[in-house]
Structure 1
Amino acid sequence: MPRGNKTPLIQKIAKQAYITYKGFKSESNGDNNLLPDRHSELLSLVTAIRAADLKIPPRKAKASPGPSGPHNPPVTYMHICETEVFSMGVFLLRTGASIPLHDHPGMNGMLKVLYGKVSVRCFDKLEDPPSVSLPQFDPPLAPPQTASVRRSVLRSVAEYSESSGPCLLTPLRHNLHQIDAVDGPTAFLDILAPPYDPDDGRDCHYYRVLHAEGEGEAGGRKREEGEVEETWLLEVPQPEDFWCGGEVYPGPVVSV
């Protein structure tokens, strides 16, 4: 077959993402209703993707990236494609930029670094039993804010680079995460299934880690050796210092 007729890797990923996630029901709250062989094939394809496959040249770190502004957002997004089954695009973070702690209600996802390095902190929400009462926070919360507090666990903190496999999220595990650029600019491929849709209960919410009185800066407490770290999160408006601009995707055209 002539080289020009070779199917781009990103097209293969899009096709496999549609096959993998088609029919997924977010209201089932189940992490096990994806067929393992289809999910493994998608994972293998995404692991192999590189910035060059999308014609995205890695950006160099600047000595002083300058202040963020209307024409210099901290984060930009390249839209690749979106269907009723999944969305796919590339996030590009400037040096020192962060995507604040946020959630993906009822959604699956994959994050694959294309260049640079990111640190990802993943949390899971916990169901609050009737006996659980809120601790005293430092600083104290105003009474209206207490309705927006959520009990959670810090599930993992890990760094990912181009050579790493994807960071995975499901409706129940690693669903809330914060993404920080490490040691320079970075970019990652992002797949969400199904896509955000506020009309269907899939809107993005932002959170802040709370500190109970007597706790350290980690914002949580270790219950016993080997157990996960519990903490509390406050739902907040989108932080004022975060916004996402848009860039044109330069890579192969994708159709699904």
Structure 2
Amino acid sequence: MKVGEKGDVVGAEEVERAAVAKRRRAGEGGGGAVGRRGRRRGGMQGAAAGVQRLFQACRHVFRGPGTVPKPDEVHLLRAMLDRMRPEDVGLSPDLKFFRAKDATQGPPTITHTTIYKCPNFSMVILFLPRNAVIPLHNHPGMTVFSKLVLGSMHVKSYDWVDPEPDTSVSSCSSSSSDSELRLAKLVVDDVFTAPCDTSVLYPTTGGNMHRFTAIAPCAIIDILGPPYSIEEDRDCTYYTDFAYTHRPKGWFVFLFGAADDTGDLNNVEQDQARLAWLKEIDMPRELKICSVQYRGPPISDK
């Protein structure tokens, strides 16, 4: 898909303002039964228009791998997602994805559906039954917008203390299995309940590694720019986290490059409560994800 040369954020905002003005004008006319029917049709059309406008904004904002949206572009997408309702993408709490699973059946299955995907971005929905867990994982080189539209979930997220560690001095670290650990700082550790604000994470900040745990059945709209791609070295990596007190001897030399860098060490020591060691692991066997066809309001990429 080719993005038009004039496809900037200003254009997306103008489209949205025009759509809002049109809906307001439509709501001013008509009465009685005809007016009520018109409002019902308007609600259905409004849902389709909402997801279409979101798609158009994504097409303007995400221009390919290696680019990060500008602050005004982030503001635009965030504002659009903040207004998204479950019905805008064809959701309701009655869908089978949200039904509680019996504990004897093992870990709940997470359901995934793709609204749209191209090399520049993807729009997906995640359905988590109660107690379902998306393990701690990363988003390499990606900007991600997450909007909880149904339910309640606990989010725990981290950023690396050193986004680009100097691996040339790795021989100074412990030679045991602890040498695979890497220091991260806690960004979010809280419960979110819909409706709530959209969260944004960036390639190296904002909580790039996160874990979702469904407290109540929930649905999340995720926009990823660019999407995961094994071919382009953006595969998903999973982690397990350990308390900061689990640190191995000599690891600070690996992280900071000099054993006598007391300023950095003191800063780390004073912030122990928000630090953890992350270790890369294989995809957890208990993780069950299935894909289904998107059946919400359609979008047009023309």
Query: Normalising TM by the smaller chain, what interval?
Result: 0.7 to 0.9
1:244 aligned residue: 289
In the alignment, is the contact (CA less than 8 A) between 2:136 and 2:209 conserved in 1? yes
Q: Distance in 2 between matches of 1:59 and 1:148?
A: 44
2:209 aligned residue: 176
Cα RMSD (Å): 3.0
Q: Distance in 2 between matches of 1:89 and 1:179?
A: 15
Identical pairs, percent: 25
Tell me the SS of whatever aligns to 2:51.
Answer: helix
1:29 aligned residue: none
Instruction: Give the residue type in structure 2 aligned to 1:125.
Output: W
Instruction: Give the residue type in structure 2 aligned to 1:178.
Output: R
Instruction: Give the residue type in structure 2 aligned to 1:207.
Output: Y
Superposed CA offset, 1:41-77 (max 9, x none)? 11111111111111111148767534446xx952110
Cα distance, 1:230 vs. partner? Answer: 1.9
In the alignment, is the contact (CA less than 8 A) between 1:68 and 1:74 conserved in 2? no
1:149 aligned residue: 181
Tell me the SS of whatever aligns to 2:210.
Answer: strand
1:95 aligned residue: 130
In the alignment, is the contact (CA less than 8 A) between 1:56 and 1:250 conserved in 2? no
Q: Distance in 2 between matches of 1:62 and 1:242?
A: 18
In the alignment, is the contact (CA less than 8 A) between 1:112 and 1:190 conserved in 2? yes
Match of 1:230 among 268, 272, 275: 275
1:8 aligned residue: 49
User: 1:68 and 1:188, CA in 2 relative to 1: closer, same or farther beyond 3 A?
Assistant: farther
In the alignment, is the contact (CA less than 8 A) between 1:96 and 1:180 conserved in 2? yes
User: 1:42 and 1:211, CA in 2 relative to 1: closer, same or farther beyond 3 A?
Assistant: closer
In the alignment, is the contact (CA less than 8 A) between 2:64 and 2:226 conserved in 1? no
Report the TM-score, using the length of structure 1 for normalisation. Answer: 0.80
Tell me the SS of whatever aligns to 2:231.
Answer: helix
User: Which stretch shows the higher mean deviation, 245-254 or 195-204?
Assistant: 245-254
User: Which stretch shows the higher mean deviation, 1-10 or 159-168?
Assistant: 1-10
After the TM superposition, which residues 192-207 of structure 1 pair with which residues of structure 2 at under 5 Å, given as runs?
A: 192-207=224-239
User: How many aligned residue pairs are there?
Assistant: 234
Q: Which gives a bigger RCO, structure 1 or 2 (Cα 8 Å, sep 6+)?
A: 1
Q: In the alignment, does 2:278 pair up with 1:255? A: no
Gaps of 5+ in 1: 27-32, 136-141, 216-220
Structure that is richer in helix per residue = 2
Q: Distance in 1 between matches of 2:87 and 2:246?
A: 49
Cα distance, 1:148 vs. partner? Answer: 3.4
In the alignment, is the contact (CA less than 8 A) between 1:223 and 1:229 conserved in 2? no
In the alignment, is the contact (CA less than 8 A) between 1:222 and 1:228 conserved in 2? no
Gaps of 5+ in 2: 1-21, 27-41, 248-266
1:44 aligned residue: 79
Match of 1:22 among 63, 67, 91: 63
In the alignment, is the contact (CA less than 8 A) between 2:101 and 2:108 conserved in 1? no
Superposed CA offset, 1:178-230 (max 9, x none)? 01101x21111011100001111100000001246679xxxxx97326x8722
1:83 aligned residue: 118
Cα distance, 1:149 vs. partner? Answer: 2.2
Tell me the SS of whatever aligns to 1:153.
Answer: strand
Question: Which runs of 4 or more aligned residues in structure 1 lie more than 3 Å from their structure 2 counterparts after TM superposition?
Answer: 1-7, 59-69, 128-135, 145-148, 211-215
Q: Distance in 1 between matches of 2:178 and 2:210?
A: 21
Tell me the SS of whatever aligns to 1:8.
Answer: helix
